[in-house]
Amino acid sequence: MKISVFGMGYVGCVTAAALSRRDNYVVGVDVNQQKVQMVNRGEAPVLEKGLVELVAESVRAGRMRATANGAAAVVETDLSLVCVGTPAKKNGSFDYRHLLSAITEVGEGIKRKNGNHVVAIRSTVLPGTTESMLIPALQNSSGKKAGIDFTVHTNPEFLRESSALHDFDNPPFVVIGNAEGTDGFLLEKLYEGTGPVCHTTIKTAEMLKYVCNTFHALKITFANEIGSICQAVGVDSHEVMDLFCRDTKLNISPAYLKPGFAFGGSCLPKDLRALLYQAKTLDVQTPLLTGVAQSNQLQIQRAIDFVVDSGVKKVGMVGLTFKPGTDDLRESPLVSLSEALIGKGIDLRIYDPNLVLNNLVGANKIFIEEQLPHIGRLLCDSFDELMAENEFIILGHRYDGLKDKLMRLNGNVRVLDLARFFGLEQTPSAYRGICW
């Protein structure tokens, strides 16, 4: 395949060289004439393990060259990968000038071409940027129509400096964001034999890059704060984290990584508070861990605000215990939500098939008597009873058999989903997810 790669920096040069090794003809494009000359001499303009040898071999074999003429590179290739840097400004926003300049060049090349041209954005851009900024810029500079005369995809890179060539050949996945009506087949062919290919929307692919990088930053900061506490109490932090990582069911796993409602129960809130208390007594600052409880409370507040802002007065809630399959009410976020709504003057009714008041004993009974002393009159015996009386339904737990009934709700009944009862493809008419 004939490919043009815009940007000969850490991402672009690695991408160009790695693709040339896979028997593609690659033209690297850069506005920096020094980088262009280095590539054409068989030299790598950036330091990366194995890159010098690969660039030299590819240039010598005639599979790779570089130019400053981006439009001409587009004319002679089938596909353009845009790997131009998007440096951050002091306020955190991106400087898109270099990217837009490259996009304009791509468009000028498309203008001179007959037939379809594929453009893939590998530059890191905020969600919505490709559709709101880059595609219009391509259409303006080319005078042609996206989806008809050329195709645009997002193809975020997950390369780490110092191991980028290895990462290119062994990715966790290859993500291709497709515009409606496009399949990304030509782009997928580039990565045959590397990693699993995941097709999604353009905006989802853009967002995923930020989610991955933010999570990596989160992991580092979490480990460092735990390490600081361990050091203060005389515990080997590396041994703690080595053991921590052996749990691949909960700790190093997809567990707890689906957006939803707040956490609660008898363990997580209590143990978090205890660890933060000890850190404070030891004068160890833990801003990340401290923010966990604050963020959890904000998720409860989001639900409160959505119900109150709707203006309704009669609300039904499915679920009250801290999670399905238990009658444990201790520190349940749904109890906190109920308490707040009642305090706002909401007439609240609750359906929870796991909750039998006469069976509650000990700390569980004491907790609910203190938090919701009149809980008995709030409970409904069935979901049908709950639906019949209320103009707003909160879905706190998922229970079998409720989805069909929810789909038959009167269109005037609003639904707030805290438990992902529904995907976005099929929902009740007046539906909203807590964070989807």
Work out the pLDDT band at 371, boundaries 50, 70, 90.
confident
Residue 386 Cα to chain centre, angstroms: 35
Q: What is the share, in percent, of the chain residues with pLDDT greater than 70?
A: 100
Q: Matching CATH topology for 2-202 and 297-433?
A: yes
pLDDT at 186: 94
Question: Above 80 in pLDDT, residue 426?
Answer: no
Q: Residue 429: is its pLDDT beyond 80?
A: no
Average pLDDT in the 255-277 region? 97
Distance CA 224, CA 386 (A): 47
Mean pLDDT of all residues in 289-314: 98
Q: Which residues carry out catalysis?
A: 267
Q: Which of 341, 173, 335 is nearest to 261 (CA)?
A: 335
429 to 87, 154, 359: CA distances (angstroms): 42, 32, 37
Position with higher pLDDT, 407 vs 145: 145
Q: What is the dihedral of CA 417, 419, 423, 427, to 10 degrees?
A: -30
Q: What is the pLDDT of residue 252?
A: 98
Percent of the chain with pLDDT over 90: 87
Q: Which CATH class is domain 2-202?
A: alpha beta
* pLDDT surpasses 90 at 132: yes
**Which has the higher per-residue pLDDT, 17 or 407?**
17
Per-residue model confidence as pLDDT tens digits over 135-175: 999 999 999 999 999 999 999 999 999 999 999 999 999 99
The domain spans of the chain are 2-202, 297-433
pLDDT of residue 222: 99
What global pTM score does this model have?
0.92
Question: What CA–CA distance (Å, rounded) separates 118 from 41?
Answer: 28
pLDDT score recorded for residue 410: 79
Q: What is the mean pLDDT of residues 248-277?
A: 98
Instruction: Tell me whether strands 150-154 and 174-178 are parallel, antiparallel or unpaired.
Output: antiparallel
CA dist., res. 312 & res. 7, Å (int): 55
Band of residue 30 on the pLDDT scale cut at 50, 70, 90: very high
Cβ pair 388, 404 in contact under 8 A: no
- Provide the pLDDT for residue 411: 80
Of 110, 119, 111, residue with least CA distance to 182: 119
Find the range with the poorest average confidence among 87-91, 166-170, 184-188, 365-369. 365-369
Please provide the average confidence, as pLDDT, over all residues in the chain. 96
Cα 14 to Cα 85, 87, 265, 310: the distances in Å are: 14, 19, 48, 52
Pick the CATH number of 297-433 from 1.10.3720.10, 2.60.120.260, 3.40.50.720, 3.40.710.10: 3.40.50.720
- Asked whether the beta carbons of 239 and 226 are under 8 A apart, the reply is no
State yes or no: pLDDT of 364 exceeds 90.
Answer: no
pLDDT category at 377 given cuts 50, 70, 90 is: confident
